[in-house]
Chain A
């Protein structure tokens, strides 16, 4: 099966600083890597995703990079704001079906 590891488990940054969360995966067949944000009392919500034929993707203050050779992908949040405080999950899935393997989450706190 697939194994997704995520680091760090907690991260505190000052408002305006950047935050980086890293994930590794084990199965080279995985080809879709989404990132989800979960706020307290709510279900996870997709914030950005990347497919294996792309090395980097950016959406305003959020970017994701993928290194297929090393089997790792990272989430970058620039100019962090207090509303970015939440738990972030990385995930990986293979080409068939909708079975996602999630990392254990990173609790991000942005200090005003």
Chain B
């Protein structure tokens, strides 16, 4: 069974630009979550999508947005990039379900560098 696939793996942007990251979950998984990982901060929850609906949202500014398609693939977008947005962005899929709280399967991440 293929794992979680994230693209691109690495990207470099400049301040003010916008970026879109893509995530293909494990087949059959309907929940996709996004996390930002930075040194010293660990993993910070961005948002979770389940059946194309945002089910949970973390404490990030509105510049961070996402969506999920009918095939469960998900994208996240960051607009007006700031230097502090440099991080590893991790996507995780899970079976989901009404009550959630299942094992997360992480992709290898998209490493964003903002210059």
Contacts and interface: CB of A to CB of B under 8 A. Distances in A.
Interface of A: 1, 6, 31-32, 34, 36, 41-46, 49, 89, 91, 93-105
A5 to B, nearest CB: 10
A71 B40 CA distance: 23
Cβ-closest 4 pairs across A and B: A43-B106, A98-B100, A104-B42, A102-B43
Interface residues of B, number: 31
A98 B94 contact: yes
Interface in B28-48: 31, 33, 35, 40-45, 48
B72 to A, nearest CB: 13
Contacts of B35: 102
B4 interface: yes
Interface string B91-107: 01010100111111111
Nearest to B44: A102
Contacts of B105: 46
Given A44-B90, A89-B43, A105-B42, A100 B108 contact: no
Contacts of B45: 99-102
